[in-house]
Structure 1
Amino acid sequence: MPGIAAPLWDRLTETVQSGWCPGLVAGVRINGQTEIFATGSLGLDQSDPMAEDTPFRISSLSKLIGGALAMSLVGDGTLGLDDEAGRWLPGLANLRVLATPDAPLTLTVPARGPVTVRHLLTFTAGLGVDLDPTPYVAATQDFLWGPNPPDMTPEEYLTRLGSLPLAYQPGERWMYHSSADVLSVLLAAAAVTPLDQLVQERISEPFGLTGTGFPTGTEHFPVVYAANDDGGLFEAVSYRDALAGPPKFASLGGGLVSTVPDFLRFLAGLADDTVLPAELRREMTADQLTSPQQVGVAEVAGPDESWGFMTAVQTGRGAPWSEPGMWGWAGGSGTSAAVYPNGDIGVVFTQRFLSSPQEHFDYFWKPFGEVRGNL
């Protein structure tokens, strides 16, 4: 008997058959009903079929798990939102700030205040991805950018980060990504527990996420591809190798592995307030930015998006299939997930890298919205 999402699955099958990617897995919860769907194969030269429980490197969807993990530590009093990051990471205690974002690295002023846990969760710590060609970008692009976890130990990462000024004053502007990596080190330090153990003890084990954690080297991943200018696919070898085994740097910015059933279960637990108490979940998934801070988000995700704690939050009308109050995010390796205000959820994991921050997942979300609208 066809499921309620059968028209969506038909569209995803067409997407794979068109050659857009060899295979994908998706899952939905609509009106309380959950369905999982897999189509295609693990690679262009592989006959092994994609399975519902195929593990994927989920890249920036890791941030959602990181946000929930951080809020669980806030909930039990291990750390506070306005605690100074320097309490656990002394190298970040007395940073200086560029006089202007495009200034030489030697032209700095004192920070007007400390970097806090809240700044890291909201990506307003003053560090991260900048799309303008500046001296700061030249000095940080090889270790603060990209889908791969930092190719260094946490200690080496913090030493290098602490030797540089911030691009903006703490709390001044949203900057993407690297606050999540800093938070990864801070959470382990605050809990006095390795990060992989924290993820297992507080997220994976309590909620039955048997395929979620950091890579071990035993996973049978799909081949991950990037696209040429003409649309042809080639293997993303650097990304494959960076997450082929236990990481040098455990990153909540983009280093986790999961499956669609796991991630759907995780998001359902968040939406239903079983992963976190309702008050903490509402805070995590509410707009936490002021209008000046939101400028950075608009550059990456558009004017109808803002940011909560490690998740995007929709504030405007957005695409026809979306709604204000939605929260979720996407990953550069071709993953996307979101929760609607009524608790409906969509998750799609593919094996094709996004070509730019502006690339969308309309092939999934548009028919998903049509299915919801027809019920």
Structure 2
Amino acid sequence: MNPAPPRIALIGAGPGGLLCARVLRRNGLPVTVFEQDPSVAAPDRHGVPELWLTTGQEALRAAGLQEEFAALARPAGQELRLLDHTATELFRQAPAPAETGGSEIGRGALRRLLLASLPPGTLRWGSYLRTLHPLGDSRHTAEFDDGHTETFDVVIGADGAWSRVRPVLSDATPHYCGVTFVEAGFEDADARHPRLARLVGAGTLLALSAGKGLIARRHGNGRLHVQAAFRGSQDWALEAGVTMADTEAVREVLLDAFAGWDDRLLALLRDHDGGFRNRPLFALPVPHTWTATPGLTLLGDAAHLMAPFAAEGAGLALLDGGELARALAGDRDADAALAAYEAAMLPRAARAAEAAADALAEAFAPDAPHGTLRRLRADGP
């Protein structure tokens, strides 16, 4: 007789976790996804409205979702421009005419696509994991905030930066990177903000100087996503005596912090639509590893949280999810499958995290933008 399939719990319904569940179910393996959000309509906790995917597209293709993704995605602008604080252009990289790059999709649209690919009953909303209790035989009992418990043969932590699964595997906790992004946006920029739309161009604009930066990216829906970035305390708003709800007070603090920058760049702070969103950057140590533990593993930010600079967190999470699911589907020994997945994922994640940390350090160094300029020239076509 064939052994019964392992009982699998997947904690967290982000892109990587949902794709993992999709591939598991597609291969006939039962899985239950536990998500703390009360429903798909819950406000986004991640602060990134659009996802730019390159590596992740292959994972979606392997999961049989390429057509659905293509129907929702838009080509991502590939141009990159580096400026200094005077708005002097130091570097421009435009893709060759035949070059194809990433695509972008709204985070909510991607989540709905993945949810629609799962059989009814796969996901349990409003389920916040309190802790895991190892039973000593590869199984773990999951205890949830409402008091109920369930026991599983395999538990996959896909629950993001502040994972409740990670502490069972690792003592590592995310640390503040020393850099904060304050995010804003411009809707329908070509029509409503044509000068800024021309300044940003057909992709990403980096304006860097002495530990500060203004970063803007054009999205295919006509939106400009802007980040005012700076080294300093993660409690900068409290120390300045402002709250994020007071848009004009935050704007005044930011304009003062970027005093002396070219007025064309300051318009990214002065003229945007809506409020600001605070996003201090956190990362796990590099490399982040753990001792293989029967019945337990991590994927995505739970495994390799890194600064969103020269890194593609959503794409890596999708890649993790697909590879983990295929390993479990292809090996009757679940623990051997987890070990094979980790042997490939951990070195890949370490390389990406190291590159992200290096790029962040260069971009916000005292002599910026010179380090970033050197790297871009070295990596150029």
- TM-score using structure 2 length: 0.29
Higher Rg of the two aligned structures? 2
